[in-house]
Amino acid sequence: MVTGIGVVSPAGTGPQAFWQGLRTAPQDSRERRADDFDPSAWFTGAQARRLDRFTQLAVAAAQMALDDRGDVAGDDPGRAGVHLGTGIGGVSTLEAQVAVLAERGPGRVSPFTIPMVMPNAGAAALSLRSGFTGPSETITTACAAGTHSLAAGARLVADDVCDVVLAGGAESLMTPTTLAAFSVMRALSPSGRSRPFDAARDGFCIAEGAAVLVLEERERARARGARVYGEVLGAASTCDAHHVTAPVPGGAGAIACMRRALEDAELTPADVRAVNAHGTSTPLNDAAEGAAVTAVFGPRAVPVCGIKGVTGHSLGASGALEAVSVLLSFLHRELPPTLGTTDVDPALELDVVLEPRAWEPGPTLSNSFGFGGHNGSLVLGPA
């Protein structure tokens, strides 16, 4: 059961602001930053200087989720865990310290560099902040990391390893080098507009963000009368084993992943009420995902939402942010629009949600696909 939500993103900080942001068209920009995030609300100056921004975002989102869950007496720290996804980790710190080394010499490199750069820094910081002493683990499967971490966290609860888990993803990697690298790959949108599944899509807008959920054992949550946003019904992971960046044509890996997730949830495609798409706005990804969704569900058989038109693509955090959007769609009984998209590619037989759409909440499948061919699908259901 999901009993707490925390989120920091370019669409807004906190669940309410985030939900409103998903309905608000952003200005065109290849870079989408969480401009309303203020570290001083969460850290002293000294604490902030010793944490990379991706860790700061993760800690803020986790604290929001814990506050949202409310005070719970009797938590056993040894049965409370952390599972956080990130694509790269503390690359901002690494790039800054490389410049320090070049300009000022090795003696001026920060002694905190390694603990700030390491990808597991976020998970470690969540454990330190919460006092949770159960498993504290990190997944780095590129853009699928947030979804994979939510699935892994849910399994820690389902397998009776933990009573409660903080799970999600965090990313902040907009440095000169990473921006240049994505640009020369032609992955970034030259127009600064993210348009999932649009005929004129031309790349993604890179973003930062974090989302963390409190996952709690079902009967325990019910016994204490917890507010429940929804639950993880099933999940799956596959690999295309095709190319380091490009998805396999036709989406075979994604098809297998979605079908396995539905099997894990003991559902059929007809049971699914909506699909939250990975929808990066790149020509190859959207074509492969569109073909895969059609293969699993049929032509235009299920509403498809893509929030990256607003949030941009926050890589390892994106799957967790999109899980939050699904949970809030349960709460508000509405599917968020795929903003930025105006002319759905006629080659894709998809029912893309272009305006806010009232709906009866039901099982929803959320997809994430990453460089390296990593595929993740998560099935979420209303409480």
Task: List active site positions.
Answer: 143, 278, 313
The strand pair at 206-207 and 231-239 is best described as: unpaired
Query: What is the token pair recorded at 20?
Result: 């409103």
State the maximum Cα–Cα separation within the chain, in Å, rounded to a whole number: 62
CB neighbours of residue 378 within 10 Å: 30
Q: Which residues are bridge partners to 248 per DSSP?
A: none
Q: Which residues are bridge partners to 129 per DSSP?
A: none
- Contacts (Cβ under 8 Å, ≥6 apart) of 143: 87, 278, 280, 313, 315, 316, 318, 319, 368, 369, 370, 371, 374
Amino acid making up residue 102:
A
Q: Please give the C-alpha separations between residue 69 and each of 64, 134, 227, 340, in angstroms, as whole numbers.
A: 9, 19, 8, 33
Contact (CB, 8 A) for 224 and 8: no
